[in-house]
Structures are given as structure tokens and as C-alpha cells.
């Protein structure tokens, strides 16, 4: 049952990304282009996602188990550190340049789109590089 629900939730998320236009790098770059031909349509998508996330985190923070019966694993780090700032900046620059973030990249990968394949490969390389650097420098403080 857990596998089926996980699949259904992932499918719903992926369809939401497609319907909202987040799977289209040109649409995302149009949203990020504040000085040019700005496309504000993704504001509603982001606002809806933030609203759902706020409610989910509020409810999840009061529960020990998820609705699938697994232990809740919410973030506990509240400090803004260098790793968070640098990671956020790298994510933002990558999102702006490519017009793709990890969720839509997986949707594009599923479609076999060249941009999706290239992005996922680059993302995996970056994750591996981060892991390698983290092993050498030690965990975040």
C-alpha cells in the first residue's frame, strides 16, 4: 500500500508540475526575467505551493507518524549558516540559468528530454561533489 500511495503522490506532483508549466524551462525563465518579458503566471503556483506547505508543516509538526505510518522527519536545523547560503545561491543561479529545478528535471527526464537528462546528470555530479567535499571538511557545525 505504501508503494502505491508513494506512486500516486509522485504522479500527482509530476502532473501538477506539467500543468503549472514548471516543466517548461522557457516559462520558468520568463518568470525569472523581471527586467524583460516577465511572465507572472507562476506566482499563483508558488503561492499555492507555499500555502499547502505551511499547512502541511504545521500539521506534521504535531504528529509523530506520517499518514503512511512512517516516522515524521522534519528539519531541525534553524541556524542560517554558510552552507545554507551558498547552497541556496547555487540552487538559484542554476534554476535561473537552466530554468529547471530538481522536481521538473525528473519530469523532463521521464519524457526523455535532452535538457532533463543533462540537468539530472549535472545534479548527480553536484551531489557527488558535495558529498566528497563534506567527507573531507567534516559535517556542518
Return mean pLDDT, the chain: 88
pLDDT-derived band at 141, boundaries 50, 70, 90: low
| Count of domains for the chain | 1
What is the model's pLDDT at position 105? 92
Per-residue pLDDT at 89 exceeds 70: yes
The 8 Å CB, 24+ separation contacts for 97-103 are: 98/25, 99/24, 99/25, 99/26, 99/27, 99/28, 99/29, 99/32, 100/25, 100/28, 101/22, 101/28, 103/13, 103/14, 103/17, 103/22
Model confidence, pTM = 0.74
Q: pLDDT tens for residues 54-70?
A: 999 999 889 999 888 88
What is the model's pLDDT at position 80? 92
Q: In which domain, by residue range, is 17 found?
A: 2-137
Amino acid at each position: 500500500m505504501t508503494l502505491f500511495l508513494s506512486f500516486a503522490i509522485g504522479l500527482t506532483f509530476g502532473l501538477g508540475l506539467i500543468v503549472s508549466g514548471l516543466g517548461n524551462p522557457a516559462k520558468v525563465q520568463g518568470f525569472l526575467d523581471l527586467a524583460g518579458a516577465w511572465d507572472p503566471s507562476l506566482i499563483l503556483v508558488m503561492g499555492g505551493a507555499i500555502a499547502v506547505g505551511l499547512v502541511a508543516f504545521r500539521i506534521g509538526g504535531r504528529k509523530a507518524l506520517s499518514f503512511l505510518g512512517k516516522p515524521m522527519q522534519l528539519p531541525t536545523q534553524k541556524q542560517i549558516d554558510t552552507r545554507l547560503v551558498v547552497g541556496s545561491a547555487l540552487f538559484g543561479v542554476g534554476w535561473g540559468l537552466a530554468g529547471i529545478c530538481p522536481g521538473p528535471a525528473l519530469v523532463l527526464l521521464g519524457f526523455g528530454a535532452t535538457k532533463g537528462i543533462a540537468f539530472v546528470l549535472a545534479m548527480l555530479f553536484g551531489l557527488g561533489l558535495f558529498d566528497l567535499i563534506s567527507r573531507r571538511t567534516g559535517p556542518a557545525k
